[in-house]
Amino acid sequence: MKKIATIILLIVCFISNAQEKKNEIVTVSFKVSGTCEQCKKRIENAVDIKGVKFAEWDVKTQMLKITYRTDKVSETQIKQAILNAGHDVDNEKASVSSYGNLPTCCKYRK
């Protein structure tokens, strides 16, 4: 009987640990290209999606710090939202059309 109770307890612990990892909240930082406060607003608005808890882009360092729930959104989806807004992320370039939609003062490519 003790063995069965121990096995059941281990299964319950395993299942609860697996569920906790699915609902994990993580914070990551990555480079997002931009030039000004207008870019900051656009970048932070682009990641205002379900699952994102916090996002702040620093104009000087061009780093975006973001906290999100892994069960609601992925880092790939977040980066794609930024690319769609016209801003390069790490080494990935926004499409020519997305970048072309940026105001002239926000264009950072030479």
Give this prediction's pTM.
0.79
Q: Which CATH architecture has domain 23-106?
A: 2-Layer Sandwich (3.30)
Q: Who wins on pLDDT, 32 or 5?
A: 32
* Mean pLDDT (whole number) for 83-110: 96
Neighbours of 97 (CB within 10 A): 9
Q: Where are the domains of the chain?
A: 23-106
Give the pLDDT band (50/70/90) at residue 110: confident
CA angle 19, 23, 28 (to 5 degrees): 140
pLDDT in tens, 43-84: 999 999 999 999 999 999 999 999 999 999 999 999 999 999
